[in-house]
Structure 1
Amino acid sequence: MKAVGVVAGCVVLVFLALVGFAACAPQQSPTGASGACSAVVVPAGELPTGTVAGYSGDQLANAAQILAAGAALGLSSRDQTIGVMTAMGESSLHVIDYGDAAGPDSRGLFQQRANGAWGSYEDRMDPFTSATNFFRAMVGNVPDRDELPPTEVAHRTQRNADPNHYTRFWEPAVAVVAALGGGGTCVTGAGAPGGDGRQLAAALVAKIDAGKITGLSGPVLDQIRWAATGENAAECSIDVRVLQIITIAADTFDSVGISSINRYCTRTLAGAGTQSRHYMAGGGHAVDFYGFNGKATTGADTNAITLIRALDALLPPGSMIGQVQCRAAAGTSITTRTATQFNDTCHHLHIDVDPKTTTLLGTGEPA
């Protein structure tokens, strides 16, 4: 599957010790970049040590450089995942220094050919530069890519013989991107989950029963169960947008731990007391996560950053995210679009919505 046409660009990769793989801005920003999900950035020193979907070691490091190239161009996590998928289909994420019968001059992660369009031999053999050139071609050739299957996007970019060649690599690419810091819900473009409060809560109850969602105390999980049936709703209600947030977290990780939702329900005066969105206006307008994938969170770790990035384009105005000083201390500070970040203790991740509004996640529409 040979790539045949793009204007080469020069982008210099800079490894920033505090924020992981990042890159200088390209000389000319691509147009047509689409997708609501923020770009995935891999924190420094946090590449998985094992195998992910059959890929490991240098393969994962090469995937991380593909993500860095996409982030430098301001592309979405879906676009980045298409880049990883394509390189899987072309080279199994290896920098290959040989071609084949169809393209004896093809080289690198994307098997780009020596026709001048893909840059020099050195460009094609450099993971970051070759990925940058792939993404530039994708932006230029496939402006409607968000409406197309991923394999079709790769096919139109690479101009290979079989438009379905990359289909089998999509799920492994999603898994690798998730392991490198991307959220599953965001990567697949699912956006904010729909449904009313009871429907969302009922789906979460199924995840509780399957062991995907755990709580530090019984009342936390009981609040979700009550929301699914309407029982005890007057004292222990949960904002439908908090149920959306929990759903996104549960879809992003294999397991999620919740320590607090509605403190008015439990009459718990912790943190900001009655001024906490856990408590005020009947409570249930905030959620505290204590862990993801079986690991405790500080609000600054890779899993916390993954969830914040997945939520960033979806949270309505007036939302707040805690642990900003924890991220500053850990060197993982990020900018959020609509949510205000504030100081909070570094043993959980706090996310809330404004109890004075009813705007749903990802829609701009009231509940």
Structure 2
Amino acid sequence: MNFDLTEERQMLQDSLRRFLRDKYDTATRNKILESDSGLSTEIWQGLAELGVIGALFTEDQGGFGGAGFDLTTVFEELGRAGVVEPFLDTAVLAGGLIADLGTEAQQAHVEEIIAGTLQMAFAHGEPTSRYDLNRVQTSAKADGDNIVLNGRKAVVVNAEAADMLVVSARESGDAGDAEGISLFLVPADAKGLTIQGYALLAGGRAAEVTLDDVSILASARLGAAGKAASAIEARVAIANVALCAETLGAMETATALTKEYLMTRKQFGRPIGTFQALAHRMSDLLIELEQARSAVINAAGHLEGDDRQRDLHVAAAKNLLGRAGRMVAEDAIQMHGGIAMTQEYELAHIAKRIVMADHRFGDTDHHLERFIALSAA
């Protein structure tokens, strides 16, 4: 099979890579990380104008891509440059759920997201849910024409900068049931909504979100009442593939930085990369990188398949990227020495992104168990 990018995707990749090479260096990122918002509105708007966000949505949704390989093309480049802006949270998760479930009026928000004028966050995980997508205890109770939300959401990425949140809440059933979960569009300035933010180790910001008698119109519900579980699972599967592609891009950068360092640093009058032990370790990194690339391609190719096949290949990719990514990050740091841990050096941020990506949407152990369960089904 031919896994080369199509002409359109190659153009997107080239344009995105040039933009990030010119606009997104280590010093720029460090300034963004020190900011209160954790993102650069200038970078965000520039990438929106370049069509990066539009590539994550289908033509019917107002974009021009939306397929698995459009997703991986974009996120591999974002990972390669170590971009901390919340494309995953605003576009893939929150924006994707609006595109999947929203009414005609709600779909207008997708246009704003693609234009780069609307920031979103997906408030789903809770303090006790860990990786169980169905463990939702936040409640949604009818009150005339309104819905009243009560509960707490944990590690909501981009909540502070968001203009609007997509919030999951339970209208019926018990915590852990797939049935009964609904999604609601909640303005960030809604009365009773409290956001307590903090910086993330891998870059960007997240928050603990508390909903205390937050009253919204029933028309703010996305899709049918209590039927959002399958849409959430599908979007998290897409987000996992995006995260794998981002990790792949970060692994490419870590490997390239290590190769450059090994051929620059000299000892006994020659580059240390010519020493057999280090050459062998570098070869191992390249092998892991190619395995990771194959896993990402495989997962992206199965995103539009049936749910079981999709989840099986996503679990396999997430497990492999978690293991391979940790090896690449650790070996890159060891072969660099102390300089790799300094904030002014690119690898410090890249290695953190690789390692922390394993803990979002399920770590290696979680996805290994998921793969085994799906294989036996």
TM class, shorter-chain normalised? under 0.3
- Between Structure 1 and Structure 2, the one with more strand by share is 2
